[in-house]
Amino acid sequence: MTAALANTLTITVPGTASLGSALPGGTISASMGTVTVTDSRLGTVGWTATVSATNLTTGGGTTAETITNGNIAYWSGPATASVGGSFRTPGQTTAAQRVPLSTTVTAFSAFKALGTSTMSWAPTLVVTVPASAVAGTYTAVVSHSVA
């Protein structure tokens, strides 16, 4: 007879997201897609999901071709789905609470009861495009992690 016990904490995030376009001096706001944390660790434990971002760059990444990560704001919104017992706390419930990604910020946290729990949210990014930005397709890496 064999038995397997799950004892993992995982996070699943969208592979890519297209935010759309804006003119210099404008703002772009778009959902990143769904982020999901699954906690199958034994016992009652908590976790915190964090998020960070690199600068947005295009071309050669000169000053005019860079939108700093301080111009990228994040808000988690409420949980969009949850299974299992846990107490969940969003990092930023509303757009008014959005925070710049110039540092690593808390996206969501939870304290889990016994058993496996899963929860999801659909964060929004808001990019403020500097008036000095040049036209181009800008890319950045937004990283979520959980511990």
What pLDDT is attached to residue 87?
Answer: 87
Average pLDDT of the segment spanning 87-99? 95
Please report the pLDDT score of residue 2 as a whole number: 46
What's the pLDDT at 6? 67
Contact of 54 with 64, CB cutoff 8 Å: no
Per-residue pLDDT band for 79 (boundaries 50, 70, 90) equals very high
The owner of tokens 């600068």 is 55
Range 38-54 average pLDDT: 92
Q: Each residue of 13-32: pLDDT tens digit?
A: 998 888 899 999 999 999 99
The pLDDT score that the predictor gives to residue 5 is: 56
